[in-house]
Amino acid sequence: MKINTTMPNKLVPYFEKELTEAAVAFRSQHFQVSWRHLERAHILGQPYPLAHTFVHFKMLGFGIRTKNMAEVLGQIPRLVFGGVKSFVGEIPVGNTGGANVPPLKPMQIPNDLQQIIYETKN
C-alpha cells in the first residue's frame, strides 16, 4: 500500500490549469465545459488527499451555484471520505468524482491525462 501525501511539483501546474479553466468556463456560463475541467482536475488530484478533497469542495460549490441538489448531496460523502481514501491509496483510479458516477467505480483515464500522469511522476 502506497501512502500519498502531496502532489508531485511537476503535476501541480496541470492540476491548477484544470481548476483555472473550470473557473473561467463557469464565469462564462459554459457549465458543461466547467464541469469537464473539474472532472479532469479530480482525476489528476485523486491520489493526493488535499488535492482530492479540494476538487470535491469545488464540485460541491458547483452544485450549489447551479442549484443541482443531486450533486450537492453526492459531494458531501465524497468530501468526507475522498481524502481518506487517497491517503491510504484506496482510490477508484480514473473516477471523475461527480455524483453522476458511483464513487467506487474505476474509469478509463483520458489519454492526455495518462500521459501527464506518466511524465510527472516524481
pLDDT tens digits along 2-18: 566 789 999 999 999 99
Q: For residue 2, is it within any domain?
A: no
Q: For residue 47, is it within any domain?
A: yes
Query: Residue 52: what pLDDT?
Result: 93
Q: For residue 4, is it within any domain?
A: no
Of the candidates 68, 65, 53, the one whose C-alpha atom is nearest the C-alpha of residue 99 is 68
- The upper half-sphere exposure of residue 75, i.e. CA atoms within 13 Å in the direction of its Cβ, equals 23
Residue 122: which pLDDT band, with cuts at 50, 70 and 90? Answer: low
Of the candidates 39, 105, 102, 49, the one whose C-alpha atom is nearest the C-alpha of residue 80 is 49
Q: For residue 35, is it within any domain?
A: yes
Query: Residue 99: what pLDDT?
Result: 95
Q: For residue 3, is it within any domain?
A: no
Q: For residue 66, is it within any domain?
A: yes
Parent domain of 110: 12-120
Helix (H) / strand (E) containing 62: helix 49-65
Q: For residue 1, is it within any domain?
A: no
Q: For residue 40, is it within any domain?
A: yes
Query: Residue 5: what pLDDT?
Result: 75
pLDDT higher for 70 or 87?
A: 70
Q: What is the per-residue pLDDT across 13-68, written as a single tens digit (0 to 9) for each?
A: 999 999 999 999 999 999 999 999 999 999 999 999 999 999 999 999 999 999 99
Tally of domains in the chain: 1
Is residue 97 a contact partner of residue 55, using CB atoms and an 8 Å limit?
Answer: yes
